[in-house]
Amino acid sequence: MGQSVWKSVDDLIAEKLVPPDPVLESILAANADAGLPAIDVSPAQGKLLHLLARMIGAKRVLEIGTLGGYSTVWLARALPTEGKVMTLELDPQHAEVARSNFEAAGLADRIELREGPALKSLEALGAEKAEPFDLVFIDADKPNNLNYLRWAMRLSRPGSVIICDNVIRDGAVLDARGRDPNVEGARAALSFMAEEPRLDATAIQTVGVKGYDGFAIALVTQ
């Protein structure tokens, strides 16, 4: 058992539970045409983000790391029409592709993309005294996970949910001595969630079309 079974089962899950969706498929096609790396969440994971947002009745979502906006669109579609996703992206080309995808999806009015280093955009959001976000999805440069989690705490409220992608990394998260900054970022995210008294958290290992990885999910409790 390994990657090929995981992929086949993920395909089965998608076939049964994630109906074909021309908009989402065209986003992945546009991303591939533009040469973006295929590191978006999987269809089943996108639907998980979407369902979690609906389950908590999210109206304001913060996403750190847009890429071509595949996860952004899953999240935006979970919101009421007056809802908003704020998504942060460093790479101007990724941002351009994402904006065009949001237009094509008819969701441009529900999504605000801020281009530049996420830490700068987060500082700006803090200075603007932005209303708290109901859900924060952290999926950008992993070495900054700890900084992003600190900002997520400042920009959320009791009851908000914080999700951090890629915290398992083929099991490399076990390696306490390694120097891979991505793995250090994964470990830092789990440690922060463990130690922050205002968070209650777990992590779920995932296998599927994207290989072996996982999400950490936290509830802001106070």
| CA quadruple 102, 27, 87, 217: dihedral sign | positive
How far apart CA 200 and CA 33 sit, in angstroms, is: 41
Nearest residue (CB) to ligand SAH, 140 versus 209: 140
CA distance 151 to 144: 11
Per-residue tokens: 168: 């398992």
Q: Which of residues 113-152 bind ligand DHB (CB under 6 A)?
A: 139
71 touching Mg ion, by CB under 5 A: no
- Round to whole Å and give the CA distance between 71 and 24: 9
Strands (DSSP E) along the chain, which ranges? Answer: 60-64, 84-89, 111-115, 135-138, 161-165, 199-208, 211-220
Comparison of 58 and 140: residue with beta carbon closer to ligand DHB: 140
Rg (CA), the chain: 17
Neighbours of 128 (CB within 10 A): 8
Rounded to a whole number of angstroms, the minimum distance from the CB of residue 88 to ligand SAH is: 5
Interacting span for ligand SAH (CB under 6 A) from 36-44, 102-110, 152-160, 207-215: 36-44
Residue placing its CB nearer to ligand SAH in the complex, 90 or 111? 90
Contact flag: residue 71 with ligand SAH (CB under 6 A): yes
Of the two residues 92 and 158, which places its CB atom closer to ligand SAH in the complex? 92
Binding partner of 118, given ligand DHB, ligand SAH, Mg ion, none, CB within 5-8 angstroms per partner class: ligand SAH
**Residue 184 interacting partner from Mg ion, ligand SAH, ligand DHB, none (CB closer than 5 to 8 Å by kind):** none
Contacting ligand SAH (CB under 6 A), which of 60, 94, 99, 110? 94
Residue 213: phi and psi, rounded to 5, are -155, -150
The site for ligand DHB (CB under 6 A) is made up of 39, 139, 165-166
Contact residues toward ligand SAH (CB under 6 A) are 39-41, 65-67, 70-71, 88-91, 94, 117-118, 139-141
